[in-house]
Structure 1
Amino acid sequence: MVVKRLGRVDYAPAWEAMQHFTATRSDATDDEIWLLEHPPVYTLGQAGRPEHLLPAGRDSGIPLVKIDRGGQITYHGPGQIVAYLLIDLPRRRLKVRELVNLMEQALIDCLADYDIAAERKAGAPGVYVDGAKIAALGLRVKNGCSYHGLALNVDVDLAPFGWINPCGYEGLATIRMRDLGATDDVAAVGERLLGHLLRLLPPIDPLRSPADSPSAQAAV
């Protein structure tokens, strides 16, 4: 597994880099996890409805990027750790749903390190604390290989979430770790999260070659 700590990166170049990596990888290409932050940006999934960007969001000056993951609209900004998982799923005997569950569990376990009790919510992918969303997930899978990933609110400005229907849910509350007593910065939280992702990801099966899996999406 190759881990890249990229710092703060504009959204569009990072997305294009993920697409290029996935399109050009071979059976011998190592899987990668990218840890980074983005400047303020809204992203709208492939089947996303533009009306979930509310008037205040349209007037905010925050750019909107229409992308190829599943799910609706979400916000990325400084103070939020983003982890992109570029994983050959068949090589690790993973299904898309299993990878989503793994990502959610890594987030729950990471938050538990800070004495924050987080949980899944039926029918609404992501991780929640007392009903408020603290982390979002979104994936794209092409030919059995994933890209995009997850975003965890560490010390991010929550106001831009109020200018959208987060992940398509009107009135969904969002929350951040800082308001729950966590004092670590984004980089430190990212390292803890990385440790849990690496612990939970199954090892590569050396006898299993990548399958020609159909493209798939997973919601935010």
Structure 2
Amino acid sequence: MNQKIKTDPWFCIELPVTEYHEALAIQHRLLNARINRVIDKEMALLLEHFPVFTIGRRRGMENLTVSADFLKKENISVVQIERGGDITFHGPGQIICYPIVHLRSMHLTVVDFVTALEEVMIQTVADWGIGAVRNQMNRGIWIKNCKLGSIGIAVRRGVSFHGFALNVNTALKPFDWINPCGLAGVKMTSMKQVLSKPPDLNRVYKNVKRHLQDVFDIELIKKTLVDLPFS
């Protein structure tokens, strides 16, 4: 980004692979704590999910191309949530970043914020020699006609939640069962597929954190949920 952003530190909370509903409840608790200034710092929640399809607000099941019975056999649930965007898949090997950020305090518009999150992903994959780009019509990061990282955020009382999903070593087959992001014919890809070998996931996590700090011009301070003053 061209502008320099406020340099107050952010809290960084890293979780293991987490069920979607559990992570959503944690997001809501952090969101409410930030809105009510119980927590006075911006936060970044980093994790992976067990397999799940999520559908953004004001969308239906029209972009799911398999039956409910099929998904039951695959043990994959479908969750309707309040973020923007359409349907996507989350699973292990996909790095999720949920920033809980008071946008006005950071002097950011929603468009600035989304652009910055894209930049974090672009810079991260560039460390592996992958040249991802933006598509202004369909937010996220792309390699030619394949999508490598997705973005869907929500804002409540000026504070962001939800965020981005970067496909690292993610299983791609479940994306064949949907029209990803509501776009028929779009193929998803992963760093593993592009590189023809799986990158070290811990190293990718480390680089995501480094680029969050670089792009937002902040320091990340590691915290656990028990460190934070919220109920």
TM category (shorter chain) comes to 0.7 to 0.9
Q: How far 1:57 sits from its partner (Å)?
A: 6.9
Distance in 1 (alpha carbons) for counterparts of 2:158 and 2:69? 36
- Is 1:141 matched with 2:136? no
- Is 1:92 matched with 2:106? yes
Q: What pairs up with 1:135-214 in 2 under 5 angstroms? A: 135-181=149-195, 183-202=198-217
Is the alpha carbon distance of 1:170 and 1:3 closer, same or farther for their aligned partners in structure 2, counting shifts above 3 Å? same
Q: How far 1:50 sits from its partner (Å)?
A: 1.0
Q: How far 1:88 sits from its partner (Å)?
A: 1.1
Distance in 2 (alpha carbons) for counterparts of 1:178 and 1:34? 23
Q: How far 1:122 sits from its partner (Å)?
A: 2.7
What is the match of residue 32 of structure 2? Answer: 23
What SS does structure 2 have at the residue aligned with 1:170? coil
Moved more, 186-195 or 74-83: 186-195
Distance in 1 (alpha carbons) for counterparts of 2:32 and 2:213? 24
What SS does structure 1 have at the residue aligned with 2:97? strand
Distance in 2 (alpha carbons) for counterparts of 1:58 and 1:153? 26
What is the match of residue 130 of structure 1? Answer: 144
Task: Provide Cα deviations, 1:158-179, integer angstroms capped at 9, x if missing partner.
Answer: 0000000000001101101012
- TM-score w.r.t. the length of structure 2 is 0.84
What SS does structure 2 have at the residue aligned with 1:122? coil
Q: What pairs up with 1:8-19 in 2 under 5 angstroms? A: 8-19=17-28
Q: How far 1:56 sits from its partner (Å)?
A: 5.3
Q: Which runs of 5+ in 2 are unaligned?
A: 1-9, 220-231
2:11 to 2, 9, 19: 2
Q: How far 1:7 sits from its partner (Å)?
A: 1.2
The residue type equivalent to 2:53 in the other structure is Y
Distance in 1 (alpha carbons) for counterparts of 2:169 and 2:153? 23
Q: Which runs of 5+ in 1 are unaligned?
A: 205-220
Q: How far 1:203 sits from its partner (Å)?
A: 5.4
Distance in 1 (alpha carbons) for counterparts of 2:135 and 2:60? 22
- Asked if the contact 1:86–1:147 (Cα under 8 Å) also holds between the matched residues in 2, the reply is yes
